[in-house]
Structure 1
Amino acid sequence: MMLEGGMVFMSDTRTNAGLDNISTFKKMTIWENPGERVITLLSAGNLATTQAVVSELDERLKAPSERSPSLLAVPSMFQAARLVADTLREVIDRHANVGQRADSAFNATLLLGGQIAGGPMRLFLIYPEGNFIEAGGDTPFFQTGEIKYGRPILVRAYDPKMTFAEAMTLLLVSFDSTVKANLTVGLPFDYHCYEKDGLKIGHTGRVQQDDPYFQSVSQGWGNALKDALEQQPKWTFDDAQRNPEDKG
């Protein structure tokens, strides 16, 4: 999520290959060269694919070359997005060409955001095909994975002037709504709040299932929805009462 004061990233940790094979894996990776750049990657999709992408990017930090540049060496966030997109495409192609191919079995979608000294903050949504789009004024936040339950909350309540604290509350409410409706999303949640032009890792942490604040937000949001529903005009099956302006 892009804010006037920075960027906020949040990811769940649930991965599943069916209801009897649910595990917890971190889906957030952060690379930092303090004072020069901070880059955050969030992943959704096939776990083997996303872990291979992160491993490839880490390996290039140790031995970068002109053909295989490092995320800590590319000159801009656009070039960082191109590097990650190319790596994702290569990993998917490599996996898909081994053994029996299943459509979309190795697909993954990535979010890449951050800032490099001399440039602005930028946020990209990277597709498994290797192409990507960038966040802007009309689309200030991106989601991957299971998005439909939490998205309406973000669309209604997002404000670019939000503080990090307000954005965290909004994202927790959005995630809570998704968790309530979909078993493929679950706690803990990892987060990173990056301050604009800070060029260093900001507030990071993990929200656990028993976190008192999260429990308060979850219960409070549920109660607020019930209260809002009770305050709505009562439905009636009488058309005349429901649409009094139609009376002749």
Structure 2
Amino acid sequence: MTYCCGVLVREGLVLLADTRTNAGVDNISTFRKLHIFEEPGHHVIGIASAGNLSVTQSVISLLREGFEDEVTGENRQLRDCHGMFQAAQLVGQAIRHVQKVNGVVMEQSSSINFEVSFLLGGQIQGGPLRLFMVYPAGNFIECTPDTPFLQIGEHKYGKPVLDRAVHYDMPISDALKAALISMDSTMRSNLGVGMPLDMLVLCTDKLEAELNHRIEAGDPYFHDLRERWSAALRAAHASIPRPPYLKQIRHVESGHGEPRKEDVVAV
């Protein structure tokens, strides 16, 4: 499986994706799932993918090389889109195109899950910075300031971090930090998500990547971040008062019978 998240704040956009792909416990590989389409000054777009690897790679190839529009017959590529909404429509069309071409084979392979989903974020000259999630059917939703993040893949472990920490007016550096903590929380709980991590940071109206970076295993900052987050959680847990619902807590050492009077602790 995989985990990808996108955080859209006033200052810009963060896209983060892992690279682990597994087809069984003995077949684990690394593939890039965050793809960047960039022409500085005109457009910068990031696409993160989750789901069947053959389908996602086919969709990305169609967006780069183009495919025939069923209505006009013209060759359509992502770089030709005039706005991010049109780009999201094109990603949906590319998904449906792959499904149409390979539909018979997909139907026959009932044991394989061919579903895919994408996060599409970026800015095209003349338009705003936007973030979309494109579903397996090709339809999509857009990120809003009320809920300034979207996730695909194994999202349940990292979502609580984003729910509590992310808001639209936070600095872009804090948005990146929250995304990294969300990824670490997911990696802690799911072996299907793993290093290296690819991240893309875009600043509003800059029309070129602010940061395009891969975090490898053993990265000093990421190691420090995960250790500090674990320590902060333990400290927060310890600082919360004991629940008042238990009248007393009996500390009993196994094999020593009834507790001594001095071992009974009132709460």
The normalised TM-score by structure 1 is: 0.90
Unaligned 5+ residue runs, structure 1? Answer: 242-248
- The equivalent of 1:146 in structure 2 is 154
For the residue of structure 1 that corresponds to 2:191, the secondary structure is: coil
Q: Which deviates further from its counterpart, 219-228 or 98-107? A: 98-107
Decide whether the 8 Å contact of 2:147 with 2:167 is kept in 1.
no
> Is the 1:35–1:198 Cα contact (8 Å) retained in structure 2?
yes
Deviations 1:138-180 (A, max 9, x none): 2211000000001000010012233232222211111111001
**Equivalent residue for 1:114?**
122
**1:6-85 alignment runs, 5 A limit:** 6-60=12-66, 67-85=74-92
For structure 1, which segment, 232-241 or 188-197, has the greater mean C-alpha deviation from structure 2 after superposition? 232-241
State the TM-score, normalizing by the size of structure 2.
0.84
Counterpart of 1:123? Answer: 131
Q: CA deviation at 1:129?
A: 0.6
> Is the 1:92–1:128 Cα contact (8 Å) retained in structure 2?
no
Partner of 1:142, secondary structure, is strand
Once the 2 structures are TM-superposed, how far is the Cα of residue 240 of structure 1 from its aligned partner? Answer: 9.9
**1:193 pairs with 2:201:** yes
Given candidates 97, 100, 103, the residue that maps to 1:90 is: 97
Distance apart, 1:103 and its partner CA:
6.9
* 1:218 and 2:218 matched: no
Find the aligned partners of 1:230 and 1:240 in 2 and give their Cα distance: 18
Q: What does residue range 152-163 of structure 1 map to in structure 2 within 5 Å? A: 152-163=160-171
Deviation at 1:90, TM superposition (A): 1.8
* Matched position secondary structure for 1:143: strand
The CA deviation string for residues 105-138 of structure 1, in whole angstroms up to 9 with x for no partner, is 1110001111111111111100011111111122
Distance 1:142 1:12 in 2: 15
Instruction: Extract unaligned runs of 5+ from structure 2.
Output: 1-6, 250-267
The AA in structure 2 aligned to 1:108 is V
2:182 aligned residue: 174
C-alpha distance in 2 between matches for 1:112 and 1:104: 25
Q: Does the CA contact (< 8 Å) of 1:76 and 1:116 recur in 2?
A: yes
Give 1:25 deviation, angstroms.
0.4
Equivalences, count: 238
Q: Secondary structure at the match of 1:186?
A: coil
Tell me, yes or no, if structure 1 residue 203 matches structure 2 residue 211: yes
Based on CA coordinates, which of the two structures has the bigger radius of gyration?
2
1:164 and 2:203 correspond: no
Q: Is the 8 A contact 1:41 1:113 kept in 2?
A: yes
Question: Which residue of the partner structure matches residue 140 of structure 2?
Answer: 132
Partners of 1:164 and 1:5 in 2: CA distance: 6
The question of whether the paired residues in 1 share the 8 Å contact of 2:17 and 2:34 is answered with yes
Task: Report SS of the residue matched to 1:133.
Answer: strand
Question: Is contact 1:125-1:133 (8 Å) kept?
Answer: yes
Q: Which has the higher strand share?
A: 2
Question: How large is the Cα RMSD of the aligned pairs?
Answer: 2.0
